[in-house]
Amino acid sequence: MQFNIDLNRLQKSYRIIQAEIHPDKFVSASQIEKNQSLIKSTEVNDAYQTLKNPIKRARYLIKINLNSEENNSTLPPSFLMQQMEWEEHLESILEQKSELEKFRLLIDGEYKKNLSSLERVCDKDKNWDGALGILNEIQFIDKLNDKIIQQINLIETK
Amino acid sequence: MALLQISEPGKSTMPHEHRLAVGIDLGTTNSLIASVVSGEVSILEQGNEEHLLPSVVHYSSSNPIVGSEAKNLQIEDPKNTISSVKRLIGKNLSDIDTKFYSLDLKDDDGVIGIQTDQGIKNPIEVSSDILKKLKETAEESLGNELYGAVITVPAYFDDAQRQATKDSAKLAGINVLRLINEPTAAAVAYGLDQNKEGNFVIFDLGGGTFDVSILNLSKGIFEVQATHGDANLGGDDYDQVVFEWLCKSNKINVADSKIKQKLFALSREIKEALTNKDSIKINEAIDEKINIQCELSQQEFEKITKELTKKTISSTLHALRDAELSVSQIQGVVMVGGSTRMPCIQNAVKEFFKQPLLNNLNPDEVVALGAAQQANILAGNTNDNLLLLDVIPLSLGIETMGEIVERIIPRNSTLPVSLGQEFTTYKDGQTAMIIHVVQGERDLVKDCRSLAKFTLKGIPPLVAGAAKILVTFQVDADGLLSVSAKEQSTGIQSKIEVKPSYGLSDEKIKKMLEDSFNLANEDKESRALSEVKIEGSQLLEMIKNAINEDSDLLKEKELNLLQETLGKLKKSLESSDRNHIEELTKQLNENSQSFAAKRMDRSIHKALTGKSINSLEL
């Protein structure tokens, strides 16, 4: 399996499978079939989410290739510095919507940059330890992005 | 000569019969029921050629009065006349704003109790009386017994509100085929009607609730991308603002509940009149002392309700962001719910999406129509290929140290969904723990909605941190949560239905059901026996067919075991020994679990390889 996948095809396969096994197809069926349909349909949703989301997909790929769930790699000091800088910046603009929007674009750029390195390291270099390092960074970036969005939502609902 | 009916392998052996299935829109202000009759979907009339049944129940004599007649008694007898009960369902007293009600509300064992001349009524009973009335309407006008119903709920309803809605249907004796979200039902009505494709926004502002859902429609598949809303925002709130404006501009201080009712009714009339007028003059005597004289313009109305409209737009923005879509990627905006008739809402939404709105179907009826189409499909009356993939509207989490919420299932996850989380003990020899499940997006427990606390007992006494308890949270296709727990080292399994902390217990529901049927003991027994027999023979048929089709999936030993249990069950079905039939049915169920799983895998495989010939064209 590769990191770079055909998302269109993934969606089509997902829909074909759900059309077959979704609990809606078993409303008048026996209890065992209902149970099985619930279990399978849940599994398929989980698989689809894992493959659709690039971060989850990378985590899964690394897990099966490194054959372990352990994550001992530490972030390089330069990224830690960057992390602190970003956190401080967010703190200073919490109430400013336009600044938050601007910051979000910047973080989104970082996210995309990391995503393409992840693709290179996974599909070309097959360097799973390297991939793990990038994964840790991109997870932080993703969480930061969520925080920014949450803050924007908060301002809007006030 | 009667023709011999031979069913297709794997399908039911019963001859095809049309099952009476309906869609019910159980609304805050009005309820509707619809059905597909000879291929055409339509709203069933409530007598007097009315489509809408006011969601109002009056309790002053032993038989509750439901609908228009009850609504007419609202001003005269407000204490015994319950309206907008949907705002109360699945909640407790501290959750609600009593200013909306001229009712005598109290706490009744964790749920809200409404004191009437007929005793204390809880919201589940009141909803159930509305549902019973709708069921009667359907059975009378269609001349058949109801097989089942799809009931719609606001997408933003939480687990407790969904569970309470399902309980009220149970109490009304309705088989719930599925709870579906109102905006999704509306999308079905539009999508099926017009064969639409692409990303659609459903903007649903009802009497008491607001939902916005974003769906991707493609060849019969309706995949909800994100949903947002406010379970306490609707037309009623606009009435409330007009009411406050009336009081303020006429310097009235209302204490009397009859006058309050009259002013509320007047406020609603004013709001509705402004739908197609630029301005309205009010000159009305409320009683001997109070005479209202003023004028409200569309512009002024828009101004005083601005904050409410703004809330709907920010919810919409929120949903778009969750769906990772921008305004330009939206192919259509569907307006649903009577309150979307307000020009200020129409304008605000049009301006936000920069495109004309889809409102050619009646906004009051579209939800019930969609629900009826889905009910018809779920009941197996049609071969229409349609699949609704809906999401959980609010994140589920559990309380951890320091009253912080640990998120378990994020909002907008496609249903059904489940997640396991491992817990451990923090004291030596600890044998029990409490898990507190909450729903909401905030980080602190107090800011989220508490769904249930449940105790996990029977943990083997080990040193702190040694026990590993896997707790699984499963949300089914109705959006309802169940929780199960397993101690990993000993495999002790406890299945706990998560009942909302303030909902009704299973026993109470059962008792209410029994009271409502009022059956004699022998009736109960014969009813129970026939239920067990039906279940047993259905399972028998299903397994027999399954063996005919897929016996190659079984090892000889497994096949023999199944055949043997089948034989025993078949024989027991001829007897009247309820416990024996029940026991054997349970046994057959257990023995065929893995067979059922293998068959499901085979059908997935078949579907994928079958379609791959056409390069996965859907």
Residue B109: DSSP 8-state: T
Whether residue B217 is contained in a domain is answered as no
- Domains of chain A, start order: 7-52 (1.10.287.110), 77-157 (1.20.1280.20)
Chain A contact present for B14, CB below 8 A: no
- The answer to whether the CB atoms of B387 and A13 lie below 8 A apart is no
Name the strands in the sheet holding B81-83, side by side, starting at the edge strand that comes first in the sequence: B65-66, B56-58, B81-83
CB contacts of A157 in chain B (<8 Å) are 311, 314, 318
Rounded Cα gap, residues B305 and A72, in angstroms: 55
pLDDT per residue as tens digits for the range B230-263? 888 999 999 999 999 988 888 887 777 778 888 8
What CATH number has the domain bearing residue B482? 2.60.34.10
pLDDT per residue as tens digits for the range B16-29? 578 899 999 999 99
B552 and B459 in a common domain: no
How far B371 CA sits from the closest chain A CA (Å)?
A: 13
Cα–Cα distances in angstroms (integers) from residue A69 to residues A46, A59, A66, in the given order: 18, 9, 8
If 0-12 CB within 10 Å is exposed, 13-18 middle and 19+ buried, where does residue A136 land? Answer: middle
Instruction: Find the radius of gyration of the CA atoms of chain B.
Output: 27
Q: Which residue of A has its CA nearest to B417?
A: A42
- What backbone phi and psi angles, to 5 degrees, belong to B303? -70, -45
- Answer yes or no: are the C-beta atoms of B375 and B198 closer than 8 Å: no
B179 and B247 in a common domain: no
Residue A94: DSSP 8-state: T
- The answer to whether the CB atoms of A27 and B177 lie below 8 A apart is yes
Q: What's the token pair of residue A96?
A: 């400013």
Whether residue B311 is contained in a domain is answered as no
- Answer yes or no: are the C-beta atoms of B263 and B243 closer than 8 Å: yes
B470 and B406 in a common domain: yes
- The domain total for chain B is 4
- pLDDT of B615 reads 46
B interface test, pick of A30, A35, A101, A112 with most B CB neighbours within 10 Å: A30
Chain B contact present for A1, CB below 8 A: no
> Closest by alpha carbon to B462, among B492, B483, B435, B504?
B492
B162 and B57 in a common domain: yes
> Closest by alpha carbon to B140, among B130, B150, B132?
B132
B191 and B71 in a common domain: yes
Whether residue B593 is contained in a domain is answered as yes
Rounded Cα gap, residues B82 and B116, in angstroms: 9
B268 and B170 in a common domain: no
What CATH number has the domain bearing residue B595? 1.20.1270.10
Rounded Cα gap, residues B401 and B404, in angstroms: 6
- Answer yes or no: are the C-beta atoms of B249 and B294 closer than 8 Å: yes
Rounded Cα gap, residues B60 and B116, in angstroms: 7
pLDDT per residue as tens digits for the range B549-603? 898 998 888 889 889 998 999 998 888 888 899 899 988 888 888 888 898 888 8
The residues pairing with B214 across neighbouring beta strands, listed in sequence order, are B201, B226
Chain B contact present for A23, CB below 8 A: yes
Q: What's the token pair of residue B361?
A: 């179907």
- Answer yes or no: are the C-beta atoms of B39 and B192 closer than 8 Å: no
Q: How far is Cα of residue A91 from the mean position of the Cα atoms in its chain?
A: 24
- pLDDT of A113 reads 93
B438 and B376 in a common domain: no
- What backbone phi and psi angles, to 5 degrees, belong to B71? -60, -40
What CATH number has the domain bearing residue B95? 3.30.420.40
B529 and B499 in a common domain: no
pLDDT per residue as tens digits for the range A93-152? 988 989 999 999 999 999 999 999 999 988 888 888 888 889 989 999 999 998 898 888
The H or E element containing residue A154 is helix A128-157
B533 and B435 in a common domain: no
CB contacts of B380 in chain A (<8 Å) are 27-28
- pLDDT of B16 reads 55
In this complex, the residue of B474, B596, B611 whose CB is nearest that of residue A33 is B596
- pLDDT of B520 reads 56
What CATH number has the domain bearing residue B239? 3.90.640.10
**What is the residue range of B289's domain?**
235-306
In this complex, the residue of A17, A40, A45 whose CB is nearest that of residue B608 is A17
B523 and B499 in a common domain: no
Catalytic residue ranges of B: 25, 86, 182, 204
Chain A contact present for B20, CB below 8 A: no
- The answer to whether the CB atoms of A22 and B387 lie below 8 A apart is yes
Alpha helix positions (H), A1-127 = 7-21, 31-52, 54-66, 77-92, 97-119
B154 and B87 in a common domain: yes
B467 and B582 in a common domain: no
CB contacts of A9 in chain B (<8 Å) are 616
How far B601 CA sits from the closest chain A CA (Å)?
A: 8
- The answer to whether the CB atoms of A24 and B178 lie below 8 A apart is yes
- What backbone phi and psi angles, to 5 degrees, belong to B173? 75, 30
CB contacts of B597 in chain A (<8 Å) are 36, 39-40
Instruction: Find the radius of gyration of the CA atoms of chain A.
Output: 20
Q: Which residue has the tokens 């055909």?
A: A6
Rounded Cα gap, residues B111 and B122, in angstroms: 7
Task: Check pLDDT > 60 for residue B6.
Answer: no
Which ipTM did the prediction report?
A: 0.84
- pLDDT of B617 reads 44
- pLDDT of B199 reads 94
Rounded Cα gap, residues B352 and B323, in angstroms: 17
Q: For residue B100, name the pLDDT band (cuts at 50, 70, 90).
A: low
CA-based end-to-end distance of chain B: 43
Q: Which residue of A has its CA nearest to B383?
A: A25
Q: How far is Cα of residue A73 from the mean position of the Cα atoms in its chain?
A: 19
In this complex, the residue of A16, A31, A153 whose CB is nearest that of residue B607 is A16
> Closest by alpha carbon to B396, among B386, B383, B384, B405?
B405
CB contacts of B317 in chain A (<8 Å) are 156
> Closest by alpha carbon to B87, among B154, B133, B152, B151?
B154
Sequence-separated (6 or more) residues with CB below 8 Å from residue B447: B440
